[in-house]
Structure 1
C-alpha cells in the first residue's frame, strides 16, 4: 500500500509540475489519500526528493498550497477514529515516528552529499548534519512519554513483559545514538566512513523500534486502553515534551454525559430509587437505567481536609500537611513496604522537576519505574533498607544540560516499633548552595547594614 501511494503521489506531483490543473488530479488524490495525514504525505514527498525522480525540494515548495487544498478537500466528510484525530496520543506518536524517519532520510542524504562534496562545500554540509542530529535527538522525548505514560497503563492491564523488553532496547538505542552523535561532532574527512557506519548501526535499531511501536505496541494499547486512559495520557504528555512534532490541537472526544439531567421529555422515573434516561446519539437513542448503590458509611464519607487533628508533634489538617509537603524545597517520592509507588509531592511544576513524576505512575511497582539496566542497583538499595543493613543511601551528580547539581537520598521509613514501612526518596538541586556569594547573609538586613 505504501509503495502504491508513493507511485500515485509521484505521478500527481509530476503532472502538476508539468502544468496539470489541480482539478484534473483531484479524483486520483481522493482515491489514494483520503484520510491520510498531511505529515505522511510530506514524508512521501521527502522520499521522492531523495530518489532520482526529477522532483526537487523547490518543486514541492511551489506546490505546497495545491497539496494543502487537495488534502483539505480529501478529508471533508470523513469520519475519523479517535486514534486518528489530531491531539490523540496515538496520532501524535505516529506523527513523531514519521518526522523522525524523515530526519533519518535527511541525515543519510547529507552523509552521501558529504562523501561527494568539494572541500569548499564540506563545512556547510557538516553544519547541517549536526543540526539534523540535534533534531533527531528529540526522539528521547518520544521514548520518555512511551516509558512513563504508556508503560504504566499497560502494566495495570497485566502487560508487564513488553514494557520491560522494549525499555531495555530503548536504552541500547540511546547508547547507539550517543556513539553516532559523538562521531558526528568529531567528524573529519578521514572519519566519514566510521561516522556513516556508527549512524547506520543506530538507524537500523531505531527503525526496527519504530516498526515494533507501530505493529505491536500501539496495537496492544488500542486494544486494551479505554478512552479515559487515553485522556489521562494526553493530559500528562506535555510534561515530557514531543519529538519534532508539537501538537497544536487538543483532543476532545465526543462523550455522552450520564450525569447531566435529562430533559422532561426524555426522563422516565421508575419504581424505587432507579432512574431511566434517554440519551440522544447521532444515529439514534439509547436508554440507560441507573440504580444508586449504597455502600458502608465509611465508604461514603469523604476525608475532612480542613479539620485540625493530632499530627506528629503538633496539630495539622490534611490540607495544611499537603501544603507543607508541597512547599518543601525537595522532590519527595514515597514507595510503600510492598514496593508500590504511592506518593509524590508537588513542590515544583512538572516541567521543572529533576525527576519527572505524573499521576499515571502512581500504583506502579518500583521495579517497573526504572530502566532494566538500573534494576540490580534499585533492588540492592531496597533490600539493604528493608533489612536494616542501611538507613539511607546518598548520591549526587552534575547535570550540565540543566545547570543543576543534583543530590538524591533514599531513606528507610520505619514506624515507632522499628518496622519497615517503605522508602522515602528526596531530591534537591544544591547548585544554589555552591553559588552563595558570601560567608554571611541575613535577608532582613538593609544593604547598608551588611
Structure 2
C-alpha cells in the first residue's frame, strides 16, 4: 500500500461526506483501485476521523453502508489455511453468519405466510414459529459481543482503532432495530402485519450489510494483522460470550512449526514466522538461524531465543499488607471470594485488573484477559461513551468520590447495583477508578421486620 492510494481513497470518501452521489465517485474509485486492501480502508478511516477534515465518528458511521457498497467487489481477499479448520474463530464467525442468514430467510417466509388470508386458521402456529425464529436471530448479540470484546481489543493494540469504533456504533443501531421488531411481534395479532414486515426489513437490511462488512472488511483486516497466538487467545476466551445458533463442533488445534537445529526441520515447508514467535518454541538460549522462502528469494533470520523470565517473588510469602499480613496468593483469593465483580482502571484510563469471583460465563459484566491493557473508552459501546466520560471526570476532579446506579438485567431477570469509586492515595492523589458490581435481587426480597436466623 502507498500513501498516494490512501490519500486518493480519503479524497473519494470526503467527496461522499460532502454530498457527492455514490455513482459519481464510483468511476474514480474503479480507476485507482482494482484491489483495495482492508488495511488501507482502516488507515483511511483513521486519518479521516483524526484529521482536521471535519469528518467525525458519527459521519463515518452514518455513511458506513455507502462506504461498504463502494468497496464491494474491489477488496483484496486474504486467505490463511488455518481459518478453514473447525473451531478457528474465523471459521466459527462465518458459520454463525450462515446460520443467521438462514434464520432471517425463515422469518421472511413465516411473515409472508402470516399475511395470506388462506392461512388464518394457522396464525397461532405461525406466530409461535415466528417467535422461535426471532429468538434464534436474536443470538446475533453473542456474535456481536464476541467481536466487540475479543476482536476489537487486539485490533486496537495494532493501531486499528477507527473500524472498531464505527462498527460498534452500527452494531448498537442494529440491536435497537431488532428490539423494535420484537416489540412489534409481541403486539400481533393486534398490530397490522405490514408494520411488522416493514420493521423487520429495516433490521434485516442493516444486518445483512453488517455481514458483508464483517466478512469482506473486518476479517480481511484481522487476517492481515493478527498472529496465530492472537487467534489462539480469542479461541480460548470465546466460550463465556456464547455463540449465535451454532457452536464450535471441534476444538481448533493450530498447526505449529518448531524450528530447531536438525536438517529435517530446516527443510520443512516455509511458513512466515517472526523471530519472537520462533524463539517462543525453542528451549535453547543459543543463537538460532531460520531460512524463509519468499517470492523475492530466501530470507535468513538469525536470533537468540529470549530465556523465560523467572518470578523474583514468592507468592506464598506473607508481607505487611494494610493492618496485617497477607501473601500475594491470599490477597488474590480474598479478592476472588468477594461477592462482587471488581474492575480497576488506573489513572491513565487503562483497564488493569478484574477479579474472578465467578466464571466469566456467569459474570454480569463479562471480562476476559484480552481486555486487560485496553483504554477504558474502548471497553464501552460508543452510545454510552459520554456517560463514561462524565463519570470519570466527576471522580478525577474530586467533585464526587462515588457514582452509583442500578438497573434490571433482562438477561438475568435480576436487579444489579453498580458503583464507580475514585481510588486516591494517602496524599489524596487520584490513582484510578474501582468499579464494583453486585446482584441485589436477594436484598430486595429480605423481610426487614424479621430477624431471620442464618442457616
Alignment TM-score, normalising by the size of structure 1: 0.73
Which residue is 1:250 aligned to?
A: 251
Shift of 1:398: 1.7
Return the offset for 1:187. 1.6
Higher RCO, 1 or 2 (CA under 8 Å, sep at least 6)? 2
Partner Cα distance (1:437, 1:89) in 2: 48
| Alignment-derived partner of residue 316 in structure 1 | 326
Match of 1:34 in 2: none
The match for 1:146 is: 147
- Of 333, 338, 344, the residue aligned with 2:343 is 333
Higher CA-based Rg: 1
Offset, 1:300: 5.3
How many equivalent pairs are there? 354
Cross-structure match for 1:103: 103
Match of 2:269 in 1: none
**Distance in 2 of aligned mates of 1:410 and 1:369:** 15
Judge conservation of contact 1:276–1:290 (CA < 8 Å) in 2.
yes
In 2 relative to 1, CA 346–262 (structure 1 residues): closer, same or farther, beyond 3 Å?
A: farther
1:356 aligns with 2:357: no
Match of 1:234 in 2: 235
Match of 1:94 in 2: 94
SS at match of 2:188: coil
Gaps of at least 5 residues in structure 1 are 1-78, 280-285, 445-450
Q: Which runs of 5+ in 2 are unaligned?
A: 1-78, 267-283, 292-298
CA deviation after TM superposition for structure 1 residue 358, in Å: 0.3
Out of 418, 443, 451, the residue aligned to residue 440 of structure 1 is: 451
User: 1:58 maps to which residue?
Assistant: none
Task: Pick from 393, 396, 406 the counterpart of residue 386 of structure 1.
Answer: 396
Q: TM-score, normalised by structure 2?
A: 0.72
**Contact in 2 for aligned 1:404/1:429 (Cα 8 Å):** yes
Q: Is the 8 A contact 1:153 1:360 kept in 2?
A: yes
CA contact (8 A) 2:418 2:438 kept: yes
The root-mean-square deviation of aligned C-alpha atoms, in Å, is 2.9
After superposition, residues 11-160 of structure 1 pair within 5 angstroms as 81-116=81-116, 117-160=118-161
Call closer, same or farther: CA 1:266–1:383 in 2, change over 3 Å: closer
Deviation at 1:276, TM superposition (A): 4.9
Is 1:221 the equivalent of 2:234?
no
**CA–CA distance in structure 1, aligned partners of residues 126 and 190 of structure 2:** 12
What is the Cα deviation at residue 435 of structure 1? Answer: 2.8
Q: Give the SS at the match of 1:396.
A: strand
Structure 2 CA distance for aligned equivalents of residues 273 and 171 of structure 1: 49
| DSSP-derived class of the 2:238 partner | helix
- 1:383 deviates by 0.6
The verdict on how the C-alpha distance between 1:80 and 1:420 changes in structure 2, with shifts beyond 3 A counting, is closer
Deviations for 1:114-155, whole angstroms, at most 9, x for unmatched residues? Answer: 122432122211211111111110000000000000100100
Out of 429, 432, 440, the residue aligned to residue 430 of structure 1 is: 440
Per-residue CA deviation, residues 390-423 of structure 1 (Å, 9 max, x unaligned), is 0000111122431321010000000000000000
Determine the C-alpha separation between the residues in 1 that align with 2:287 and 2:90. Answer: 37
